[in-house]
Structure 1
């Protein structure tokens, strides 16, 4: 219980046990039963952004703002939309003072009403009340009390990263890593006799494919230095990438992750590939040529995936860092991402013709363009053995969007050709909460199928469990 600085008792967070379950009494009863079957099962997190260093070094979290506010793009963008500068929330600020961190937390509490109706409110309330044991409703009046209570809690040994790994029942946690990363923190965990969890790296080579980016040549120099391979040619780039993919696989990686504006993967004639590569390296490639080269390089990633078995995941349909002034001032990946339309059927035709029935190739396609769920993505997964439909992520990992996803995809692709939920988060404490929301949403959807007599209760139970156990394991070869 939090001791208040104010004599007036403020409202408390009251999490309803049936939140997100159907309102209809008969359907809700079934959903309760299904949710109870999966509520406490281990969490498989095959795509996320929590640094391995946190677990390797097991350091305490610095303060409530660094833990709950600054890394959470969902939260910071909502407040930025209300006129709060990102820097006031700690974004792009190195080593903020304690006073500045407290001020950032106050801003969140003062703007708490801005979160109403969003999944961010669901996640944060559950993190505060269930994970941290702080049940004060954030507001301007309670901001300092909430901050102090969270700060006191995270200073306890039970709130170190490793203790939370156990408490969250994490079975697998995937990080996201640059191909040139030496993965020393993953190695430290692997070699630590006191560590019993499973943290796997994920190969994320985007910056080495975007030939139109001004820093592309510098990235290739770093790749050459790490691999000892000349990256001045297309063929050299392929050899260097194969080397790093093998290195990641040796350190436990099971997948590679790719996020470009589109998903086109088209093979290049060797001579044409070398011509485009040389032009890009010399800074002479046109934007169209740079795009053609990137699509050829991505095809090479798919070809290598068919050989080394790393699951290839795509996260297209996003205009990254939409606000250039914020990107230039604060750096990339600050939450200024906007969904864009994607086309999949023709874009994926070359790679699926080449590897769509290959036994070693597996492709998991995510998107935040909902229009392609039933029109393209589910039918593609409903035919090609290699293709799986990625669960809702970024703007769509919310209850209503999850329901739309299941309705759009299941009738054509079924449950088994989906990925299982991915939390895709940098906010460590929100991992169990986000998976809990997904489990509740799936229980609600399955309950409707039962009450409509489209599934038996036994089939729904089995499916609910598979969605959080065998389905993500199969999709990500875990």
Structure 2
């Protein structure tokens, strides 16, 4: 993965990291990887805040950049007995949980525990960023923690390490943010006025408005009404408000909507039943079962809306959010306690695909963390429905092993060209090039195996690698009305 400084030399990245160990396949993989290594990055499923790009923000200090916001990193240290508070994760409860505010101390704790990340993608991403982006020359350790901290602090203060400069350095062609329906999209408009309108685009994420049993749902409906300018008096005006906001997103450059539901159910409701549930929810009189039925209905309605506004529909179900009530109460969401569950797609998606799956105006990209369904359900679905693309390995699976298993499990049924190409799904801006680099290396290794087995020609492998890294993400996320 890297050449460690235990040899007395500066810490550096091995040029063959993540490529096959077998010598002949490695030689082929090197040739394939070279064809993709410098391609522009297409980052169509991101969570970087648009305001950070608009304001050309710096990344603060090392703890603020690498530790506190990274739920991959936090969850590993929590699993070893540390508290999120020890890592500077801010408390949200009213009990006065005290979070560490000494960011140098937080960084030391991380460096002292560097060995915990051996064999994980977190290790790959962070060492790529530390070495290649920020010029760190020592492996994180208790001995070098302060030296690394001081180097990073000075480097992060330089103008060339602010976010827009790094955007250019990383060769990012387009980056998608994730935005609530009630967003005024003003930051996107300001970026467009700066000439960045084709480089940073919004994504419509309405999950909070689809589950009426959530405590924030009624307030969300109020914000949707205010932003859309439509008085929401019932289910039909609620649909009208969503349609209007989707068109506003499309006009602002959005390519897709994004849906992180618990299940993949897309069973529609009769309008009268949906209206009854909606009205009951506004009175606070709704069961969790009714809420999930309403959410399933709204996935179906989302597909219908996409025929008019052209937004690609992303669905990534199967995560039980905030598994620990105690942690959620103390520290809120996105602190590492989201756990995958088994998920079923074939029957769940049938209502939606029966109605829209053969319509050339419709495009759906499916993600999962339950890799058991790759070969059994998802590859067969993507391998026949022209509207369906299989999204890249996501979250716990965007690792060398996860990406290699993905290719093994789906390619023989769906091929390469019924997949979306790579998307990085990250809030950690500095890790974007590392994530794309890892995907390109793993794909090069898989394609090299096919070449070595005389199942592909080298020219075909190179063309496929370029498509996976660059062309397929652009094609998969192209607006369907464009």
What's the TM-score once normalised by structure 2's chain length? 0.94
- Match of 1:53? 51
CA contact 1:201–1:248 (8 Å) conserved in 2? yes
- Match of 1:75? 73
Following superposition, the deviation at residue 452 of structure 1 comes to: 0.5
Find 1:164's aligned residue among 155, 159, 166. 166
Range that drifts further, 368-377 or 329-338? 329-338
CA contact 1:10–1:136 (8 Å) conserved in 2? no
Establish whether residue 217 from structure 1 lines up as the match of residue 218 from structure 2: yes
Q: Distance in 2 between matches of 1:281 and 1:258?
A: 22
Q: Distance in 1 between matches of 2:142 and 2:198?
A: 40
- Match of 2:410? 409
CA contact 2:390–2:420 (8 Å) conserved in 1? yes
CA contact 1:317–1:368 (8 Å) conserved in 2? yes
- Match of 1:465? 466
CA offsets per residue over residues 27-76 of structure 1, 9 Å max, x none? 11000000001001100000011111111111222111111112211111
- Match of 1:329? 330
CA contact 2:130–2:136 (8 Å) conserved in 1? yes
- Match of 2:305? 304
CA offsets per residue over residues 191-223 of structure 1, 9 Å max, x none? 015x58600001000000011112211111111
Q: Distance in 2 between matches of 1:66 and 1:92?
A: 12
1:128-143 mapped onto 2 (5 Å cutoff): 128-143=130-145
Establish whether residue 367 from structure 1 lines up as the match of residue 365 from structure 2: no
Between the two proteins, the alignment pairs up a number of residues equal to: 469
- Match of 2:95? none
Find 2:24's aligned residue among 26, 37, 41. 26
1:183-222 mapped onto 2 (5 Å cutoff): 183-193=185-195, 195=196, 198-222=199-223
- Match of 2:399? 398
Establish whether residue 84 from structure 1 lines up as the match of residue 82 from structure 2: yes
Q: Give the SS at the match of 1:364.
A: strand
- Match of 1:229? 230
Q: Distance in 1 between matches of 2:466 and 2:234?
A: 48
Q: Distance in 1 between matches of 2:90 and 2:207?
A: 22
What's the TM-score once normalised by structure 1's chain length? 0.95
RMSD of equivalent CA atoms: 1.7
Q: Distance in 2 between matches of 1:401 and 1:167?
A: 28
Range that drifts further, 427-436 or 57-66? 57-66
Q: Give the SS at the match of 1:171.
A: strand
Establish whether residue 110 from structure 1 lines up as the match of residue 108 from structure 2: no
Distance 1:196 1:293, change over 3 A: closer
CA contact 1:13–1:125 (8 Å) conserved in 2? no
Q: Distance in 2 between matches of 1:306 and 1:104?
A: 49
CA contact 2:321–2:337 (8 Å) conserved in 1? yes
Following superposition, the deviation at residue 455 of structure 1 comes to: 0.5
- Match of 1:3? none
In structure 2, list runs of 5 or more residues that go unmatched: 1-5, 93-97
Q: Distance in 1 between matches of 2:7 and 2:33?
A: 34
